[in-house]
Amino acid sequence: MVSQYVYPAAPIDKSALAGSLQVFGHSVMLPRAAYVDPAVFAWEQQHFFGSGWTCVGLSSQLPEAGDQRAESAGAGSVLLTRDDQGELHAFANTCRHRGHELLPCGAGAQRNAVICPYHSWTYSLSGELRFASGFKERDGFDRSAWGLVELPLAEWHGLIFVDGSGQAPSLGDSLRVLDGLVAPYEPERLVVAGRHEYDAAANWKILTENYHECYHCPVIHPELCRVSPPKSGENYPAQGTWVGGWMDLRDGMDTMSLDGTSLGVPLRGLDATGLRTVIYVNIFPNVLLSLHPDYVMTHRLVPLAADRTFIECTWAFAPEALDNPGFEPGYAVEFWDITNQQDWRACESVQRGLSSEHALPGPLSPDEDAVYQFVTMVARGYLGEPVWNPGRKAAAAG
């Protein structure tokens, strides 16, 4: 049987979406409900984050056999395990007995079995039920029928994605073009040496839209503008499941840091262009991947409510940089922590502004073509067109 990856339209005024889907230069932003309405948020949790490919962490967070983590995915959560063969698994984070979470969301464990904290049902790292107290004596109890519910998992350059629908098309196929841009950075080889968690009082799409434009940079990012001209670079042609572009470094600047100096080492796979640019890409729905000459910064967005988003930000460097005595990741972490906080403040203000019933969708500037690509992807998703669909054609920003 051929499974079909389909979902229903979102509970949002279809005619209001028509304005967002006009050609670039004539379109407007998403309707206000997309940012403030709990019903739209619940739909997004189910259909954007709970089905299709969602990033639930980094492979390096589970380096050893027996490592386990639970991470949010839509309205529920997934349990990740690494088995004795070194393979990663994703399971619905719910016990087959009476549904207790196997690990609290955001927590990790290291042991050779998955043990439910409620009545100690015990599963192997690959999900088979091994032990259920008291059931041994019960006639006809077939342990093999009560294993954990496994979900498709894909690793892509050190990121772990899970498909809650079990029916999304291949992640690799959907990201094939992006793969050519990302592969030279070898993110899977890099070592995370900086990590920040943020809790922003803003809708996840406001954070993403903000990431996709530097129209605001001259106004709120003086540090960024010192090292990278805000008008530089271009966006890549629309690809459907990811959106992004690149920017230049100013002459004399080696990377994005407060003085443009790198205290790391250039990534070994980059050509001359890669050493003079920074690539910014958003993999739908929740990864912002920023590729620098000497480090990779990854934001993973976890929506908590229509007006609240948890953000995990990591900075990864070449292992040979960490081998240098005295290596300190702060040059990159501090720069982006300042910039991140400038962004979150702006996004939180947008959220407050959109809480006004008088807020109406505004037009996009010529510098906001990547915002347009993202907005049209979301709008078409709201209309019931699955984003993770290799056949889908993205709107051209023209």
Provide the binding-site residues for ligand FES, judged by CB under 6 A: 95, 97-100, 116, 118-121
- Specify the stretch interacting with Fe ion by CB under 5 A; choose among 180-188, 226-234, 279-287, 338-346: 338-346
Determine how many CB atoms are found less than 10 A away from the CB of residue 204.
26
The C-alpha atoms of residue 156 and residue 159 are separated, in whole angstroms, by 5
Least distance to Fe ion from the beta carbon of 190, Å? 23
Give least dist CB 139 to ligand FES, A.
20
- Residues constituting the chain: 398
From the list ligand FES, Fe ion, none, which binds 97 (C-beta under 5 to 8 Å, kind-based)? ligand FES
If you write DSSP's letter for every residue of 42-62 in order, what string do you get? HHHIIIIISSSEEEEEEGGGS
| CA–CA–CA angle 161, 113, 187 (5° rounding) | 30
Q: Which is nearer to ligand FES, 76 or 330 (CB)?
A: 76
Shortest distance, position 119 Cβ to ligand FES, whole Å: 3
Number of chain positions touching Fe ion (CB under 5 A): 1
Q: How far, CA to CA in Å, does 347 sit from each of 35, 212, 257, 288, 351?
A: 11, 13, 22, 15, 6
Specify the 3-state DSSP secondary structure of 334: helix
Tell me which of Fe ion, ligand FES, none is bound by residue 95, counting a contact when its beta carbon lies within the kind-specific cut-off of 5 to 8 angstroms. Answer: ligand FES
Only segment of 86-94, 191-199, 242-250, 343-351 that touches Fe ion (CB under 5 A): 343-351
> Which residue number, 120 or 349, has a Cβ lying nearer to ligand FES?
120
Three-class secondary structure of residue 272 per DSSP: coil
Among positions 343, 344, 354, 375, the unique one binding Fe ion when judged by CB under 5 A: 343
Say if residues 321 and 293 touch (Cβ distance below 8 Å): no
Residue 349's binding partner, choosing from ligand FES, Fe ion, none, with beta-carbon cut-off 5 to 8 A by kind? none
The whole-angstrom separation of Cα 114 and Cα 96 is: 12
What are the b/e assignments for 306-329, b being 16+ CB within 10 Å?
bbbbbbbbbbbbbeebeeeeeeeb
Would you say 79 or 116 has its CB closer to ligand FES? 116
| Complex with ligand FES: residue 7 or 121, whichever CB lies closer | 121
238 and 396 in contact (C-beta within 8 Å)? yes
Binding-site partner at residue 141 among Fe ion, ligand FES, none, CB < 5 to 8 Å by type: none
Q: Choose from ligand FES, Fe ion, none: what does 343 bind? Cβ within 5-8 Å by kind.
A: Fe ion
Per-residue binder mask for Fe ion (CB under 5 A), 287-326, x = binder? ----------------------------------------
- Beta carbon nearer to ligand FES, 99 or 363: 99
Q: Tell me the pairing of strands 153-156 and 159-163.
A: antiparallel
Q: How far apart are CA 367 and CA 105, in angstroms?
A: 38
Looking at beta carbons only, is 163 or 343 nearer to Fe ion? 343
The residue among 12 and 350 lying less far from Fe ion, judged by its C-beta, is 350
> Which of Fe ion, ligand FES, none does residue 118 bind (CB under 5 to 8 Å by kind)?
ligand FES
Helix axes 330-354, 204-211, angle to 10 degrees: 120
Nearer to ligand FES, 103 or 214 (CB): 103
Binding-site ranges for Fe ion (CB under 5 A): 343
